[in-house]
Structure 1
Amino acid sequence: MIRIPTERIDRFIEEDIPYIDLTSMVLGIGDCSGRMEYFTREDCVLAGASVVRQIMERIGCRVVEGHDDGAKLKSGEVFLVAEGSAANLHAAWKVCLNVFDHLSAIATMTRKMVDAAHRANPHCEILTTRKSMPGVKDLMTEAVMIGGAYPHRLGLSETVLVFEQHLAFLGGFDAFIERMPEFRARCIEKKLFVESGVEHALDLAKAGVDGIQLDKIPAVELKDVVEQIRAVNSHITLIAAGGIGLKNAEEYAGTGVDGLATTAPFAAKPMDMSVRIVPSL
Structure 2
Amino acid sequence: MLQLSLAEDLGPGDITTLSTVDARLAARAQIRTREDCVLAGLAVFDPLVAAMIARGKPDEEAESLKMTESAGDGSRLVAGDVACTIAGTARALLMIERTLLNLIGRLSGVATMTARFVDAVASAGASTRILDTRKTAPGHRVLEKYAVRCGGGANHRTGLFDAILIKDNHIAAAGGIEPAIRRARIATLPDIKIEIECDSRSQVEEALEAGARSILIDNFAPDAVRAIVE
Give the TM-score taking structure 1 as reference length: 0.71
User: Can you give the 5+ residue segments of structure 1 that lack an aligned partner in the other structure?
Assistant: 1-7, 228-281
- Is the contact between residue 44 and residue 73 of structure 1 (CA under 8 Å) also seen in structure 2? yes
Counterparts of 2:170 and 2:94, CA distance in 1: 51
Q: Cα offset for 1:28?
A: 3.9
The residue aligned with 1:19 is 12
Counterparts of 2:81 and 2:180, CA distance in 1: 59
- Is the contact between residue 64 and residue 82 of structure 1 (CA under 8 Å) also seen in structure 2? yes
Deviations 1:40-99 (A, max 9, x none): 110111100010243246422122443211111111112111111111110121111111
The residue aligned with 2:229 is 226
The residue aligned with 1:199 is 202
Name which of 77, 97, 108 aligns with 2:112.
108
Counterparts of 2:158 and 2:180, CA distance in 1: 27
Name which of 79, 83, 99 aligns with 1:79.
83
Counterparts of 1:103 and 1:181, CA distance in 2: 39
Bigger relative contact order, structure 1 or 2 (CA pairs below 8 A, ≥6 apart): 1
- Is the contact between residue 30 and residue 85 of structure 1 (CA under 8 Å) also seen in structure 2? yes
Is residue 148 from structure 1 mapped to residue 176 from structure 2 by the alignment?
no
Which sits farther off after the overlay, 102-111 or 197-206? 197-206
- Is the contact between residue 162 and residue 195 of structure 1 (CA under 8 Å) also seen in structure 2? yes
Name which of 11, 29, 32 aligns with 1:39.
32
The alignment yields a C-alpha RMSD, in angstroms, of 1.9
Deviations 1:114-145 (A, max 9, x none): 11112224421111110111111111111111
1:1-281 aligned at under 5 Å gives the runs 8-56=1-49, 58=53, 59-60=62-63, 61-171=65-175, 173=176, 176-177=177-178, 180-189=181-190, 190-196=192-198, 197-227=200-230
Give the TM-score taking structure 2 as reference length: 0.86
The residue aligned with 2:58 is none
| 2:194 alignment partner AA | L
| 2:29 alignment partner AA | M
- Is the contact between residue 44 and residue 108 of structure 1 (CA under 8 Å) also seen in structure 2? yes
Please list every run of at least 4 consecutive aligned residues from structure 1 whose deviation after the TM superposition is greater than 6 angstroms. none
| 1:153 alignment partner AA | R
SS of corresponding position for 1:79: strand
Go from structure 1 to structure 2 and tell me whether the alpha carbon gap of 1:51 and 1:220 turns closer, same or farther (over 3 Å shift): same
Q: Cα offset for 1:181?
A: 4.1
Counterparts of 1:110 and 1:34, CA distance in 2: 35
Go from structure 1 to structure 2 and tell me whether the alpha carbon gap of 1:56 and 1:198 turns closer, same or farther (over 3 Å shift): same
Q: Cα offset for 1:36?
A: 1.1
- Is the contact between residue 198 and residue 217 of structure 1 (CA under 8 Å) also seen in structure 2? no
Identity of matched residues, %: 30
- Is the contact between residue 49 and residue 67 of structure 1 (CA under 8 Å) also seen in structure 2? no
SS of corresponding position for 1:70: coil
| 1:177 alignment partner AA | E
Q: Cα offset for 1:151?
A: 1.6
SS of corresponding position for 1:128: coil
Go from structure 1 to structure 2 and tell me whether the alpha carbon gap of 1:31 and 1:125 turns closer, same or farther (over 3 Å shift): same
Go from structure 1 to structure 2 and tell me whether the alpha carbon gap of 1:35 and 1:213 turns closer, same or farther (over 3 Å shift): same
Structure number with higher strand proportion: 1
Counterparts of 1:66 and 1:41, CA distance in 2: 15
Counterparts of 2:187 and 2:40, CA distance in 1: 39
Counterparts of 2:197 and 2:165, CA distance in 1: 7
Counterparts of 2:71 and 2:186, CA distance in 1: 49
Counterparts of 1:49 and 1:218, CA distance in 2: 37
